[in-house]
Amino acid sequence: MGESTWTREGIDAAVREAAEGLGEGGVPVGAALEVGGVLVATGRNLRVQAGDPTAHGEIACLRAAGRRASYRDAVLYTTLAPCAMCAGAIIQFGIPLVVVGEERTFAGEAGLLRSRGVEVEVLDDRRCVDLMSRFQREHPGVWAEDIGEAPPRP
């Protein structure tokens, strides 16, 4: 890939979105999109708040960015490794670089992204790990629902 670089501003914006989502009772996944080095959109997982099963953080961010002819100069930041649905959107639009806050609490589809030529950089950001660990501990049923797994048994 070579030309794209990431910024602290991008991951910080994604973390702010994740924290806001947690404060609203939602899944704490935030995302931000830079195009040509300019932050153009942010979003957070709104599945709980909006009752929308497709409202993951990356998807909400892409919706907020609006229609674009090309994502060739884009960097997508996400606090958590993308799931299959979000990875599909990244591949579909040809986003060349994804900066992931953490993949400890959910491995996601980094391998799929890499197999399709997407550069993936994992930061192992403690803020991201802490937000998701807390959420998974406090809301295991909602977390299972978010990633398409059966809820834990009581």
Q: What is the CATH number of the domain that holds 88?
A: 3.40.140.10
Assigned domain for 87 exists: yes
pLDDT in 10s for each residue of the chain, 154 residues: 444 689 999 999 999 999 999 999 999 999 999 999 999 999 999 999 999 999 999 999 999 999 999 999 999 999 999 999 999 999 999 999 999 999 999 999 999 999 999 999 999 999 999 999 999 999 999 999 988 888 777 7
Range of the domain at 18: 8-119+127-147
Assigned domain for 154 exists: no
Question: Could you tell me which residues come within 8 angstroms of residue 146 by beta carbon, excluding any fewer than 6 positions away?
Answer: 27, 45, 47, 56
pTM above 0.85, yes or no: yes
- The DSSP bridge partners found for residue 120 are 98
Assigned domain for 152 exists: no
Assigned domain for 55 exists: yes
Assigned domain for 60 exists: yes
Assigned domain for 22 exists: yes
Considering its fold, how many domains does the chain have in total? 1
Residues forming the active site: 58
Assigned domain for 2 exists: no
Assigned domain for 71 exists: yes
